[in-house]
Every structure is written in C-alpha cells, then in structure tokens.
Amino acid sequence: MREYLLVFLVALSVTYLLTVVAREFALRTGAVAAVRDRDVHAEPIPYLGGLAMLGGLYAAYLVARHLPFLSTSEEFVLPDAGAVLLAGALVCAVGVIDDIFDLDALTKLGGQVLAAGLLVTQGVRFYYFPAADGTQFSLDDVQGAVLTLVVVIGTMNAVNFVDGLDGLAAGVVGIGAAAFFLYCYFASAQTNLTLATTGALLSAALAGACAGFLPHNFHPARLFMGDSGSMLIGLVLSASALTLTGQFVGMPETTGNSLFVTVLPVLLPISLLMVPIADLVLAVVRRTRAGRSPMSADKQHLHHRLLEIGHSQRRAVLIMWTWAFTIATGAVLVSLFDDPLVWWGLGTMIVLSVALTFVLPKVHRPRKTGLGDTGLPENADLEGRADEPVAGS
C-alpha cells in the first residue's frame, strides 16, 4: 500500500506543477477557450491540461519501475501499464491538435480508434467473461478486440461529454479511479493473489493526476483539460478495468455479490462512470429524436439541468461528485463484501444524493451576484463546442 501511495503522490505533485507549464504552452499556441456570449466563463481560459496529467502519469510510472515491490512484480504488470500510457499519449496528442485547431468529430473518432487499437495490439484487451459457477466464457481475438474498442471509445466520449463544468470531469474520474484501486487491492488481498496489478498501479496514478489537476481547475478554473485531458483519463480508466481479464486466471473470488463479480470487467467501467455515461446516452437519444446530429450542441446536459434548478456551479459539481461516489463506491463494495451494512450504507448515500439534488435548491438558492456564484448568466447558451462544453475542465 505504501508504494501505491507514493505513486499517487508523485502523480499528484508532478501534475500540479506541470499545469503551470501546460497553461503557458496553451497561451503561446492559441489553445484558449475564447469568451463568447453563449459561454459561462467570463475570461479566456487555456486548454491543454491533459498534457500536465499525462506528465503526472508518466512520472508515477517511472517511479513505480524503481520501487522494491512493484519493480519485481509479475512480468506483465509494468509492460501492460506502459502500453496503456503509450495509447494515452497517442490520444492526448490527438486532443492537443483538436484543442489548438478544432478537429472535426470524425477525425477525433479516428484518433480514438487508433489509440484503442494500440491497446489491443499490445495485448491489453478483454479475454473472457467468468460465470458465477466458476467457468469461463472465452472471447476470440475478434470478439475481444471489438468489445475493447466499444468500451474504451465509449468511456473516452462519456468523459468528454461530462466535461462541462469546472472540476467536474477530473473529480468524477478521480473518484472512479480511487474506487477501482480499492477493488483491485482488496480483491487481491482477499484471495491471496499478488497485490501488484496493472489495474491498481494505473488507477492509483490516475487518481493522483486528477487530484493534482483539480486545484487549477475547480471553479473559477485557471486551466481546462480540453480533449487532450478528457480522452486521456477516459482511456486510462477503462483500460485499467479491462486489464483484470488478462492478468487473473478467473476473476478474483470475493465474499461479495457473485453476480457483480461475474460481470465486473464490463460493469466497472460503466459503474465508475455512470454519471457521464448516462449523460452521453441521454444526449444521443435527445438529439437524434429531434432529428439532429448526436454531436450537435445543446444546453440540456445533466450539469446544465442542475444549474437550471437553482444550483451554483460549485454546488452542481459537488452534487455530481456525490452521485459518482455513491455509484462507483457502491458497485465496488457490493462486489467485495456480503454485508447488510454495505446495502444500508449505499441506500443512505442514495437518499442523501437525491436530497442534495432536489431539496437543497428549494431551501438555499445561490445569490445572483454574477458568474462567480451561479455560473448561469441569463439567456446564456451553456454549451461550447459540439461535444466539448467550453465551460468545463
């Protein structure tokens, strides 16, 4: 656990320091979210926060290669982590180009396919699904590749869609990464398997990178992560989860709900990112039903609706963090432990999240003192570019 804590702190520290460099580079290259009458931010904000996060992830990986425990782990742990970061660097580069030159949606999708395809060629993909009776349903190369592409690309776009308020995407993904680290660590401990896994290493580093970026990104943000960041952290989180099926002979047996463990390789990326994935699905359905492109802009994302019912920007972000924590932590705890207290705790968190979402605006509305408080100027279109709200991280 101490080495993972060090990995987390290294990623946090390096990301925090590199944000200053990334901000300066964004200003020099023109990767800046300009102020328009339809945007929430009141002054130009630079993009390219993803470069700082990528630097933090690589720094954590390089440190892990020299730690006594992680450096002597199974031969696949560090190579698989390196393959994920290589794919992350590729998709981050695509995001940087988009942040500077504003690529079209198909070109960005092509970059995402290349990055996910690189994972598959490096052996980081789905291999099988375990059944509740202990048997396994093996996937052939084509099935594993297709499922990997769907999950990884879907997760990247889900994070991109939820990146609509300062600190929202970094917080949601950071919570998901921390929850997944706990699953990897305690599932391995329960079954006396090695505590050194690619999933635990990457999720600890990812949680640290998100934590290091948040001080610069929480409202009022000084730097946005842009596509370079949202696609990067989406890829790393989803790849962390799918490494489970390549590094265990059968899923770890836990004392938790067997159904959750059975579908965990697909359930975890979905549950950890339930908030952004739900936002993505609703946006696609909403826009296609209206006869518009799924990538067209609107101001009906979940975070927009929170602003509309009376929450301030900060409070809307904190509430969505609460929902992300409830869903991600709940899925992990139910998978690990068979205890009524887990279900009671999950139920309590759901009730609390509902109350914060719908009751709090009625008893405490933010004062209308400008963008710094409400983040919702009158008659403003809250959406930025087609699938990347400029108001976000």
- pLDDT 10s digit of each residue in the chain, 393 long? 889 999 999 999 999 999 999 999 999 988 887 665 444 555 778 999 999 999 999 999 999 999 988 887 777 889 999 999 999 999 999 999 998 988 888 999 999 999 999 999 998 988 876 655 556 677 788 988 998 999 899 889 888 877 777 888 899 899 989 988 988 888 777 666 677 788 899 999 999 999 999 999 988 888 999 999 999 999 999 998 888 765 554 444 555 455 555 455 455 556 656 666 676 677 777 667 777 666 555 556 665 667 666 667 788 888 888 888 888 888 777 777 777 887 888 888 888 878 877 776 666 655 554 444 444 444 343 333 434 443 444
Give the pLDDT confidence score for residue 373 in this predicted structure: 44
Residue 264, both tokens = 């965990």
Task: Give, for 175, the enclosing helix (H) or strand (E).
Answer: helix 168-190
Question: What pLDDT sits at residue 339?
Answer: 75
Nearest to 79 by CA among 61, 106, 103, 99: 61
Query: Global pTM?
Result: 0.81
